[in-house]
Every structure is written in C-alpha cells, then in structure tokens.
Amino acid sequence: MTHSDPDPTNPDRTSAAPTRSDLAHPTSVEAAGGARPPRIVSVKPIVLDAPDRGEDLRVRVTAPVSGRDLPVVVFSHGFGSSADGYGPLTDFWAAHGFVVVQPTHLDSRTVGLPADDPRTPRIWRHRVADVKRVLDRLDLLEAAVPGLGGRVDRSRVAAAGHSFGGQTAGNLLGLRVLDPGSGTGEDLSDPRVRAGVLLATAGRGGADLSAFAAENYPFMNADFTHMTAPALVVAGDRDDSPMTVRGPDWLADPYVLSPGDKSLLTLFGAEHSLGGVPGYEARETTDEHPGRLALIQRATTAYLRHTLGLDDTGWTAVRKELADSTSPLGRIESKSSSRP
C-alpha cells in the first residue's frame, strides 16, 4: 500500500477546464540539453457516470499538445491517493507522446469512503471496473480534451500502477486474486490492454502475507501464473514491506512468478516510493532521489514504446547504460515466453 497527500479533487463536476504546463522538473534529455520541454495539457475532472459504483468516476487526462497516433496509458494510483498524484511519471509520459488517463478510485482520501462502507471489501474489484470503464469511454475522454480528437491510437493501450495500483494494473494483464477460502480466482484480464508497468507491487499472498495484511487486506492474495501479458516490474531492493513476512524480494514476485515476456528493473537503495514517483516532495517519500526517479521515467517510457511496438532504441539504450555503468542505479533482467 502507498499513502500520499493529494490535493482535493475539484468538486465541480460540470467543469473540465484544461491546465497547460511545461514539465516542472525537467529530467528528459531535451530539457537537460537546454531545449524547451514538450508541452502538455491536462484536463480534470472528467466525470463518467457509474451508477453501479455508488459514486461517479472522476478522471484526469494528460496529453501532449501535438502529435498523432498517440498510445494510451491508464494509470492506477496507490491506496489513498488520487488522479492528482504521480505527476513525475504521468507528466513525463505525456511529454513523451502518451495519453495518460488517471481514474480516482473509491479508496482515495478525496472520496472519503467510510471504513464500514459495504463497498470496502470489494474495493479491489471496483478499481478494475474503473479501468475498464475508462477503456469503454475513451471516446468521451478524448472529446473532453481540447485538440485531442482524432489523435489517439486505441490499438496501443497499456495499464500501469503503483503499489495497490500495480495490483489493479496486473488484474488487467491476467493476475488473479484468490479467494482465501476456495483458493480460486476470477479472470479479470482485458484484451484491450497490451502491456503493463507494475511499480512496487505486492507479491504472492497466502503464507507470504504478514498477519496484519492477511486480516485487513485479504485481496492481497495474488496468483501470477495467468499473468501472461508483457510487463515491466519495478522494485526497490530496500522496500521492506510490512505486508509480508519476506523481505524486499517479495516485490519481485510479479516478475518471478509470472509467465510470458517480462522485465524486472531492480532499483538499488529504493524504498516503496522508488525515489519519488508519487509526487515531487510528497510526504510519504522517504527515499527521494532525483537520479533514481529520472531512471524510472526513462526506463518506463522506453519500455512502453518498445512493448507497444513503437520503437526499441530507447529500451536498448537504457539496458546498455545500466549494464555498462560502473556505478549503476539499478539492473534490468528479462525473460521471454519461451523461458519462464
């Protein structure tokens, strides 16, 4: 689980005024070289009717102001956060050619769901339904962003998420949540999602969970054996989670225990916030590290472009840089479907 300190969601459900900005913290090659960073536009809240959810779904969309055939990344926030978080990743992805869609899930502190709300035990399922609702309504989301119409490539869609959001993204890729009693899990994968990025995502459940996690978060009982879609797993080697009786290697389970084409980026010295992905100067970031964050930005962008069939140059370059460095910030390993 992750906890962040997002700003309250705009309560005006009828307005979706765009805000336009350059990257506030330039870490891209373009910005580092002195060139003007690509411009992006962000629109919130875009409200999707969700009568079966009990609350309408509020969404933020961030996109580059230029370019065509733009791929889509749906990003699922960590527990308690909202669509207002994770700017270091979502702004960077948008500035590098992606349309980034961020739903605010029911567990967000901006929603204020009481702990005894009857929806609470099924929060994880509502999260998956939120992402599928986003995919079902891409036409409305595209139309809500000035100038975005006709520029989106809906055949190239990825799901990404941090912490609890990583499990949500994993569900779309084939991860199953096992019922503690029956040991069975439902397939909630979606063929529209071609790839994923799972950041600081919980590992195997069952005996690997701490007593606290097993009692309070029974949905953290993941089975990765059906998660066949391509994914990049990002884990910190100092992310010693209280949710498990194991150490930081637990966060590598989505890579180790899943079949298919997968890559694992292990970040040296990183804790649960992975150097600052929830937000610049976010309260819960105990391991703030601009270099580590820049690596995540570059590696995830390059991986998404690689796995969505756009180009391989960036992914090849990041892997080579880490392999050749005498003091790398992390390491990347990969496996293919023929080598589980």
Segments in 20-154 forming alpha helices (H): 29-32, 87-95, 123-136, 138-144
Identity at 106, one-letter amino acid code = L
Q: How far apart are CA 293 and CA 234, in angstroms?
A: 12
Identity at 313, one-letter amino acid code = T
In this structure, what DSSP letter does residue 178 have?
A: B
Q: What Rg, from alpha-carbon coordinates, does the chain have?
A: 19
Q: Where do we find the tokens 């019922």?
A: 179
Q: How far apart are CA 27 and CA 140, in angstroms?
A: 32
- Tell me the C-alpha to C-alpha distance, in Å, between residue 67 and each of 150, 215, 237, 247, 330: 11, 48, 37, 43, 32
Residue 323 burial (CB < 10 Å; 0-12/13-18/19+)? exposed
pLDDT in tens, the chain (340 residues): 443 333 332 323 333 444 333 323 333 334 444 567 789 999 999 999 999 999 999 999 999 999 999 999 999 999 999 999 999 999 999 999 999 999 999 999 999 999 899 999 999 999 999 999 999 999 999 999 999 999 999 999 999 999 999 999 999 999 999 987 788 899 999 999 999 999 999 999 999 999 999 999 989 999 999 999 999 999 999 999 999 999 999 999 999 999 999 999 999 999 999 999 999 777 778 888 999 999 999 999 999 999 999 999 999 999 999 999 999 999 999 999 754 4
Residues 6+ apart with CB under 8 A from 71: 97, 98, 99, 153, 156, 157, 158, 304, 308, 310
